[in-house]
Amino acid sequence: MTFRRKLLFFYLLISPFTVLFAQIPQGYYNSAIGKSGRDLQVALSAIIDSHRVVGYDELWYYYTLTDLKPDGTIWDIYTDPYCSFLPTDHGTVGSGECYSYNREHVFCQSWFGNESGAPYSDMFHIYPVDAWINSTRNNLPYGEVANPTKVFQNGSRFGPNSFVGIYNTPPSTNAFEPIQEFKGDIARTFFYMATRYMFEDANFSTSHPMTNKSQLQPWALEMLKNWAILDPVSQKEIDRNNAIYQIQQNRNPYIDYPELINLVWGNDSLTDTFQPGFVPTGTKPRVIHFAAPTSQTIVIVFDSNLVRASAENSLNYAINGGISVDSAILSHGNQVTLLLENPLTIGLPYYMILRNIQSTNGYFIRDTSIVFVYGYSEYHSPITSWTFDSTLGAPNTPLIIEADINYTPTPAFMYFDGTHGSSIFITGQSGNQLNAFPGTIIGDPRIANAVSGQSLALVNETANQKSFVLQFSGKYWEDFIITLACRRTLTGFYKHVWEWSIDGQNYDTLPANTVPEEILIFELQTIDLQNIEELNRQDSIFIRVTLDSASSNSGNNRFDNITIHAQKCMVNYSIFDTILTHLPYSNHGFHLQAIEETGNFTFSRVGVLENGCDSLIELHLYVIENEDPPTIIPSFPPSHSATHLTIYPNPTHELINLKIEGVNGEIDIIITDINGKILLRDTRNIENNEETFPLILKNLSRGIYLLTIRGENIVTTSKVVIY
């Protein structure tokens, strides 16, 4: 779905209810049938306790049975897919990632306080992970980290916990946030621990920020329920659960039956009980439409009328990233408009959790997650970026820096040399005003292949009121957005003035503020240029940034991953024509089979104009009766003019479905990253002009990818987002 100006991706995800029966012993959960809430948790505890306790040193061997990848390396949830540990690579912590792995108590040892007994070696919560990251996490809680002090290779984060709960906010501590692919694994591990040890936790800590004995603090329970929805049970978890059962002789019920989470801790405990093969009640309300028309408004439409008190309770809508819901307004019985206290940021990913919303028939919504990226259409792409990965530090920092990622027709540059309205910065001598310091992956357009590298530092109060200029081509592009990561010291520049120009001489001011709120932390900043139509399709665009109010010689701002995003310009035009029935049509680039019915028909195709813009061409065909139809009706092979490609869900996690219409014959399916590297290739033979089939993407990391379909008469490319 696309909107013209304020746009977003979204993907609706409801807790999975497909029962995963793999190797569950017959009758294993019989004593839990018909129960819900605490009674269900107690019954599950009785089923999974008294397991076989293994020796702590035996874990090294058992990991070869429970946590081994097909290539024989250890499956490390903290560094996957970057580190490749052999089973024997455990030992010294080292000074960085990928040196060795060790045993990580997800439910920290200091929280239960024993170096012996069942929890000390319980394999369900002891994972093989990178030793250095394990040491960094130490005994701190898991959380959501908006402003990390450390970002690890695969995108895991460490820093202040920024999760904001509906009913309870976590204490101010640092936290570790894994990548989304493993958040559900960790959540279901904690639910296992809360159930397995609920009657064996007398010596567990009562004062930890994340847990109270074996049970979760309210904020942690809320966050982990969110994570369990966002990251459904994977085949890796199923295999690990089955393997541990062979060793310990107990199972994690929340992997076997994910719906147990809501039956124990959610509203399902009010209306349902546990039944193997559980199927959600069909009368529960569901989300059928979602949109964010402005940065402080969200509209949600449900498939049934809602109880007003539940629909208008702002506590029933949780958004990550520190976004709070000010009020909820129910209209038309089934449409809720949310007014947000603080605005969404263009380019940032968000998730929203809906809970406790009741339909007028008495049933509550299944806990539902909506994942979206605010502000982009599916056609926005990074076209130019300065990542500064290899920028030299003082005294060798250059006065002109070329963009190292560029998809426009001409090179793009940053100027610090006095040209195009920039200032002359001091470099190569005493009083340097340019330098290069360690960077960040925040805002890196390469997403899955992001590199922290270097960042560009502007230093010294003597650079107050100096300006640098970005120049890039917008010849075939429109609706520009700039994103960047910025970090400042206490005495660094805390005033930035942004301006735009199309000649490099006459500049107009932009209403942009990119000064980080926090000290010594990279923050993602966004400048929205979509409403400045004068920039669209210009050969050269100039953006000037003036810095001010630094207060020391060492005060500085770091800039990294300055990226220009835009949409390929689109020219729309229509063609009107007439044809008789029973005759094929071949004109204006359209090749259509004979139409046997009379009336008005519309067809469309995408072409490329001489100016490099894409063109959406609509053919309005008026078909009239042929009084003398031919005996043999000539035909044309199907062409891209009649082709339609549908991709769903998008964004996705592990799988997309492709529906291709208007194609016959063999097609190539190619997935590339934004740099053009081919990551996946497949071939399909399409018959009967239409086919729908799945494409598994679970081996791809989070990021933006390009899906290209190529056949004899079709070449089409679409964007796929993996979260």
Q: What CATH number has the domain bearing residue 488?
A: 2.60.120.200
* pLDDT, greater one: 289 or 282: 289
Same domain flag for 361 and 489: no
Please say whether the dihedral angle defined by the alpha carbons of residues 229, 234, 236 and 240, taken in this order, is positive or negative.
positive
Inter-helix orientation angle 183-196/218-230, to 10°: 130
Phi, psi of 47 (to 5 degrees): -75, -40
Considering the domain architecture, whether residues 321 and 343 belong to the same structural domain is answered as: yes
pLDDT band at residue 282 under the 50/70/90 scheme: low
Confidence of residue 265 (pLDDT cuts 50, 70, 90): very high
Which amino acid is present at 145?
V
The DSSP secondary structure of 539-555, one letter per residue, reads S-EEEEEEEE---SSS-
Residues 507 and 628 both lie in one domain: no
Beta-strand relationship, 287-294 and 349-354: unpaired
Of residues 372 and 200, the one with the higher pLDDT is 200
CB-side neighbour CA atoms (13 Å) of 659: 6
Q: Is the pTM of this model over 0.75?
A: no
The answer on pLDDT for 7 being more than 50 is no
Residue with tokens 């835009």: 566
The pLDDT, as a whole number, for residue 448 is 52
Q: Is 288 part of any domain?
A: yes
Same-domain check for residues 675 and 548: no
- Cα distance between residue 254 and residue 72, in whole Å: 27
Q: Is residue 10 part of a domain?
A: no
Residues 423 and 356 in one domain: no
Would residue 11 count as lying in a domain?
no
CATH of the domain at 684: 2.60.40.3080
More confident residue, 606 or 414: 414
- Which pLDDT score is estimated for 619? 78
513 shares its domain with 403: yes
Least trusted range by pLDDT, from 31-40, 409-418, 430-439, 620-629? 620-629
Does 301 share its domain with 416?
A: no
Percent of the chain exceeding pLDDT 90 equals 48
Kindly state the helix (H) or strand (E) to which residue 402 belongs, with its residue range.
strand 400-402
Lowest-confidence pick of 265-269, 497-501, 652-656 = 652-656
* Amino acid identity for residue 253 in this structure: P
To 10 degrees, the CA torsion angle through 126, 132, 138, 142?
-70
Q: What is the pLDDT of residue 13?
A: 47
Asked whether residue 12 is domain-assigned, the answer is no
- What share of the chain has pLDDT > 70, as a percent? 88
Q: What SS3 state is found at 471? A: strand
Which pLDDT value is given to residue 610?
53
Structure tokens at 620: 């309005």
What does the alpha-carbon distance between residue 404 and residue 388 come to, in Å, rounded to a whole number? 8
In a domain, 8, yes or no: no
The whole-number average pLDDT for the span 677-705 is 77
Sheet holding 495-501, edge to edge: 400-402, 413-415, 467-472, 541-548, 495-501, 508-510
Residue 439 has pLDDT above 80, yes or no: yes
Determine the pLDDT at residue 313: 95
Domain membership of residue 286 (yes or no) is yes
Nearest-Å Rg of the Cα atoms of the chain is: 29
pLDDT over 50 at 105, yes or no: yes
Interatomic CA distance for residues 131 and 133, integer angstroms: 6
- Residue 3 domain-assigned (yes or no): no
- Check residues 602 and 640 and name the one with the higher pLDDT: 602
> Is the confidence at residue 515, as pLDDT, over 80?
yes
- Range of the structural domain that residue 609 is part of: 570-640
Specify the range with the lowest mean pLDDT, choosing from 43-47, 616-620, 666-670, 671-675: 671-675
Q: Do residues 316 and 407 share a domain?
A: no
Q: Which of 578, 610, 640 is the last residue of a domain?
A: 640
Q: For 484-503, what is the mean pLDDT?
A: 94
Letter for the amino acid at 606? V
- What domain count does the chain have? 5
Domain boundary among 521, 544, 568: 568
> What is the structure's pLDDT at 713?
57
Give which of 304, 301, 326, 323 is closest to 313, Cα–Cα. 326
What pLDDT, on a 0 to 100 scale, did the predictor assign at position 4? 29
As a three-state string, the secondary structure of 190-241 is HHHHHHHCCCCCCCCCCCCCCEECCEECHHHHHHHHHHHHHCCCCHHHHHHH
Residue 16 has a pLDDT of 36
Residue 264 phi/psi, 5° resolution? -90, -50
Pair (344, 323) in one structural domain: yes
Please tell me what DSSP assigns to residue 142: B
Task: Tell me the three state secondary structure of residue 184.
Answer: helix
Q: Domain check: are 498 and 391 in the same one?
A: yes
Work out the pLDDT band at 305, boundaries 50, 70, 90.
very high
The CATH number covering residue 349 comes to 2.60.40.1220
Query: What confidence tier does 284 reach under pLDDT thresholds 50, 70, 90?
Result: confident
Mean pLDDT of 323-332: 93
Angle separating helix axes 235-248 and 183-196, nearest 10 degrees? 30
pLDDT band at 15 (very low <50, low <70, confident <90, very high): very low
On whether residue 79 sits in a domain, the answer given is yes
pLDDT at 629 over 80: no
Mean pLDDT for all residues in the chain: 85
Mean pLDDT of 200-215: 93
* 326 and 353 assigned to the same domain: yes
Q: Are residues 609 and 714 in the same domain?
A: no
Q: How confident is the model at residue 22 (pLDDT cuts 50, 70, 90)?
A: very low
- For the purposes of burial, counting CB atoms within 10 Å of the CB of 274, is it exposed (0-12), middle (13-18) or buried (19 or more)? buried
**pLDDT, tens digit (0-9, with 9 covering 90-100), for 51-79:** 999 999 999 999 999 999 988 999 999 99
Per-residue three-class SS string for 611-622: CCCEEEEEEEEE
pLDDT at residue 11 in the model: 46
**Residue after which a domain boundary falls, among 544, 568, 592:** 568
Summarised one tens digit per residue, pLDDT across range 391-421 is 999 999 999 999 999 988 899 999 999 999 9
pLDDT in tens, 521-559: 888 888 989 889 999 989 999 999 999 999 999 999 999
pLDDT surpasses 80 at 281: no
- pLDDT tens-digit profile of 141-173? 999 987 788 888 888 889 999 898 876 778 889
